[in-house]
Amino acid sequence: MIEVQGLTKVYGNKAAVDNLTFSVEQGEVVGFLGPNGAGKTTTMRVLSCFMPPTSGSAKVAGYDIHADSIEVRRRIGYLPEHVPLYTELTVTQYLNFVAEAKAVPRVQRRQKVGELIERCLLHDVRGRIINTLSKGYRQRVGLAQALLGDPPVLILDEPTIGLDPKQIIEIRNLIRQMQGERTVLLSTHILPEVSVVCQRVIIINEGRIVAVDTPENLTRRLQRSTQVLLQVEGPPDQVTGRLREMAGILRVEMKDGGGVHGRYVVETEKDCDLRRELAHVVCSSGWGLLELRPVDMSLEDVFIRLVTEEQDSMTVDRSPVTLDG
């Protein structure tokens, strides 16, 4: 549904986007991640025909962004990071205006606008002037306008920015419900959001792709050790010392500032499961074992490791990290 080949956008001497190539399949929800200035917003603006690329090509829903930009725009719902709204209108007036601009048939406008007001949780403010709304409500108005016209492709730049925790969960659920229904390219700085709503992730840094895969596969690929969290009722110094003496232990780190009910992160070699041995050592020492569980590498860890390694490897192959199968 989205096909990008060699996409490049240069400002002066700076390549904001540098030879990007990726695809997003029909009905797929894909996260687009990167630090500030990585080129995420520039890429989204190019794909939505907001600006032209310097070189390269892209197709959206089978239409070329150069030759068929009007057809591309008809098939995209775009939510920019800073939502441009007509703030002197009410929510309903604004959405009716957008519906007319998107050529939603007159007989369907009231129904479509009403459905999106309910779906985007705007029913309590439908008659209010947009200028009086909080940032969170304005964000939801922007999402509603992106959905008007039933576009098959959604390009969402930071869709949950400015929302409170309850609203974030509601919007995440809404996006997750779109899997299979619409193709979604989602930019976000909230990394747990990707794990919750996205099937794949594209990570870029300095305009280049450094990884394309599922969050689970990236975690498995980059996790170089196994970690176990222990909570032990015992003298912290003795517990730490005894754990460090065990064969196969690479590192022991105490969490939560210590105390008699200390929590410890124990790191071992990758695929080395020492939980049984850890439990035996704690119990045979006469201490209380309050918790023992494996700790998975977080998406934040994956993100930081990929970006850091990409910055440190200026003279090596910078091809994207992927997994076979």
pLDDT in tens, 229-253: 999 999 999 999 999 999 989 989 8
pLDDT of residue 149 exceeding 50, the answer is: yes
> Cα dihedral sign for 212, 217, 221, 223?
positive
The torsion defined by the Cα of 236, 237, 238 and 242, in degrees rounded to 10, comes to 100
One-character DSSP codes across 246-275:
STTEEEEEEETT--TEEEEEEEEETT---H
185 to each of 205, 212, 218, 291, how far by Cα in Å? Answer: 17, 13, 19, 39
Type of residue numbered 37: G
Instruction: For residue 216, give the nearest of 194, 185, 190, 183 by alpha carbon.
Output: 194
Q: 283 or 177: which carries more pLDDT confidence?
A: 283
pLDDT of residue 309 exceeding 80, the answer is: no
Contact call for residues 30 and 4 (beta carbons, < 8 A): no
Contact call for residues 120 and 149 (beta carbons, < 8 A): no
Instruction: Determine the pLDDT at residue 323.
Output: 41
DSSP reduced 3-state for 105 = coil
User: What's the predicted TM-score (pTM) here?
Assistant: 0.76
β-pairing, 249-255 vs 2-11, is: unpaired
Instruction: Determine the pLDDT at residue 84.
Output: 87
pLDDT of residue 315 exceeding 50, the answer is: no
Type of residue numbered 286: G
Q: 303 or 133: which carries more pLDDT confidence?
A: 133
Kindly give, in sequence order, each residue whose CB lies less than 8 Å from that of residue 25, ignoring residues fewer than 6 positions away: 1, 183
pLDDT of residue 29 exceeding 70, the answer is: yes
Instruction: Determine the pLDDT at residue 320.
Output: 53
Instruction: Determine the pLDDT at residue 325.
Output: 39
The listed range with the strongest mean pLDDT (82-86, 96-100, 311-315) is: 96-100
Residue 123 is given by DSSP the state G
CB atoms within 10 A of CB 94: 20
Instruction: For residue 294, give the nearest of 276, 318, 316, 313 by alpha carbon.
Output: 276
Percentage of residues in the chain with pLDDT exceeding 90?
57
- Stated as kind and residue range, the H or E segment containing 240 is helix 236-244
pLDDT of residue 263 exceeding 50, the answer is: yes
Q: For 53-62, 233-242, 250-259, which range has the lowest pLDDT when averaged over its residues?
A: 250-259
